[in-house]
């Protein structure tokens, strides 16, 4: 039964765009929809029945670490089909230690706790250049036999616009606050739009329908971890200060698309002007100042932190968020984000889901202190 509450890229170009767009920044901010106009995409409403047992989640995390560390060792010994050492530098980039301004004093969605802006100091870390792809997640599953939570529960949330009529005809429930989200039996990372879909031809797209727990299991297996929200946001900003997007303040510099978002009228018309109406290959669109792809748009990305909307202006060092909670923070927005409904494709923007939630627009990437 479906009863679940539901840089290194062209630095010169980047700086030229910043100069060009400075006058545009104000315009962007002035057009932020009022709260009443911004009911949200409903992607924070997707949760499974019974909420989440915080203690259980922590135990699961430990189990994952124990179970998959063995697999990791075997993989390193075998050399296997997994990432070769020589390939590692291409897959991760170093985000240097330093301070940055986290959050914003001009929040697009104040109720999400985007503000106030505060100074944060971070140690350096490596971050995956790409969102974790179907291909990489497939290697993990093939090696470990891992079964995702969506597969265990037997369903996951899919955006109605992606479903076939046959699948839609079998569904009688929707998310009350966001009726375009449907719980679909048989939807999982191998079947992103339900049982009659597959990932053939999409192995280079971000893996979707992975819960926070699934993401932790994968990162642990790779000898990595999920980024804290602060690490993710610092990386998103790409070395720029007080800018809206990873590349600056203008959404489409020189008329070009820099992220996979929604063009048209949400939720009924997606023109795909940026080239994609669903997910895009993880290698799509220009990198930010740190060489990272798709930090905003394409797939939402899980972070390690528990969700809380209350922040102070206190200076922080390597913050890790609240010690407990019900939801985990996700960042960056997705291919479903449109300014009228989900203006969350900004570095300071944030949203949340329970750790066992999964959907057709939520993925992740990993970080580590050293190359593993």
Contacts with Ca ion by CB under 5 A lie at: 260, 274, 276, 294, 298-299, 332, 335
The minimum distance between CB 335 and Ca ion, in angstroms, equals 5
Specify the residue, 60 or 258, whose C-beta has the smaller distance to Ca ion: 258
Q: Phi first, then psi: what are they for 265, rounded to 5°?
A: -120, 110
Specify the residue, 20 or 160, whose C-beta has the smaller distance to Ca ion: 160
Specify the residue, 6 or 259, whose C-beta has the smaller distance to Ca ion: 259
The minimum distance between CB 283 and Ca ion, in angstroms, equals 13
Specify the residue, 227 or 332, whose C-beta has the smaller distance to Ca ion: 332
Nearest residue to 23 via CA among 249, 252, 255, 257 = 249
The minimum distance between CB 274 and Ca ion, in angstroms, equals 4
**Which residues, at least 6 apart from 4, have a Cβ–Cβ distance to it below 8 Å?**
47, 48, 49, 153, 183
Specify the residue, 221 or 300, whose C-beta has the smaller distance to Ca ion: 300
The minimum distance between CB 275 and Ca ion, in angstroms, equals 7
The minimum distance between CB 296 and Ca ion, in angstroms, equals 6
Specify the residue, 274 or 327, whose C-beta has the smaller distance to Ca ion: 274
- Which stretches does DSSP call E strand in 244-369? 264-265, 269-270, 300-306, 316-317, 328-331, 351-353, 362-363, 367-368
Q: How far apart are the C-alpha atoms of 158 and 186, rounded to whole Å?
A: 11
What is the DSSP pairing of strand 316-317 with strand 118-122?
parallel
First to last CA, the chain: 42
Specify the residue, 180 or 335, whose C-beta has the smaller distance to Ca ion: 335
Using an 8 Å Cβ cutoff, are 295 and 236 in contact? yes
The minimum distance between CB 25 and Ca ion, in angstroms, equals 22
**Which residues, at least 6 apart from 94, have a Cβ–Cβ distance to it below 8 Å?**
124, 125, 126
The minimum distance between CB 246 and Ca ion, in angstroms, equals 10
Q: How far apart are the C-alpha atoms of 352 and 38, rounded to whole Å?
A: 16
Count of Cβ atoms closer than 10 Å to residue 69 Cβ: 13
Q: Tokens at residue 2, please?
A: 């479906």
Specify the residue, 64 or 299, whose C-beta has the smaller distance to Ca ion: 299
Using an 8 Å Cβ cutoff, are 307 and 325 in contact? yes
Nearest residue to 92 via CA among 124, 129, 135, 136 = 129
Specify the residue, 46 or 337, whose C-beta has the smaller distance to Ca ion: 337
The minimum distance between CB 344 and Ca ion, in angstroms, equals 11
* Residue 182, beta-bridge partner list: 158
Q: Which run of H or of E encompasses 181?
A: strand 181-185
∠ CA 119-124-128, rounded to 5°: 110
The minimum distance between CB 301 and Ca ion, in angstroms, equals 5
Using an 8 Å Cβ cutoff, are 312 and 118 in contact? yes
The minimum distance between CB 276 and Ca ion, in angstroms, equals 4
Specify the residue, 294 or 358, whose C-beta has the smaller distance to Ca ion: 294
């Amino acid at each position: 039964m479906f009863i679940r509450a539901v840089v290194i890229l062209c630095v010169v170009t980047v700086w030229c765009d910043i100069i060009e767009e400075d006058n545009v920044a104000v315009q962007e901010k002035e057009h932020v929809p009022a709260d009443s106009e911004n009911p949200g995409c409903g992607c924070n409403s997707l949760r499974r029945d019974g909420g989440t047992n915080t203690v259980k989640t922590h135990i699961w995390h430990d189990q994952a670490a124990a179970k998959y560390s063995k697999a990791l060792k075997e993989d390193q010994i075998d050399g296997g089909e997994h990432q070769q050492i020589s390939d590692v530098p291409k897959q991760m980039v170093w985000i240097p230690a330093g301070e940055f301004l986290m959050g914003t004093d001009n929040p697009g969605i104040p109720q999400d706790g985007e503000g106030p802006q505060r100074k944060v100091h971070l140690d350096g870390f490596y971050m995956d250049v790409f969102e974790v792809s179907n291909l990489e997640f497939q290697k993990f599953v093939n090696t470990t036999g891992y079964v995702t939570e969506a597969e265990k529960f037997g369903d996951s949330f899919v955006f109605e616009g992606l479903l076939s009529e046959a699948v839609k005809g079998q569904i009688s429930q929707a998310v009350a606050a966001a009726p375009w989200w449907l719980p679909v039996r048989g939807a999982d990372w191998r079947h992103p739009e339900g049982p009659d879909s597959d990932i053939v031809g999409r192995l280079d797209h971000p893996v979707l329908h992975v819960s926070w727990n699934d993401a932790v299991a994968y990162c642990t297996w790779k000898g990595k971890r999920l980024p804290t929200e602060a690490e993710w946001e610092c990386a998103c900003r790409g070395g720029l200060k007080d800018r809206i997007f990873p590349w600056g303040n203008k959404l489409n510099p020189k008329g070009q698309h820099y992220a996979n978002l929604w063009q048209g009228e949400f939720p009924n018309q997606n023109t795909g002007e940026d080239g994609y109406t669903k997910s895009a290959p993880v290698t799509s669109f220009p990198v930010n100042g740190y060489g990272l792809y798709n930090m905003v748009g394409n797939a939402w990305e899980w972070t390690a932190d528990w969700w809380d909307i209350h922040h102070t202006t206190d200076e922080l060092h390597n913050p890790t968020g609240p010690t407990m909670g019900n939801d985990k923070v996700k960042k960056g927005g997705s291919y479903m984000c449109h300014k009228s409904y989900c203006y969350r494709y900004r570095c300071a923007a944030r949203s949340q889901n329970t750790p066992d939630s999964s959907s057709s627009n939520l993925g992740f990437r990993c970080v580590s202190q050293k190359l593993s």
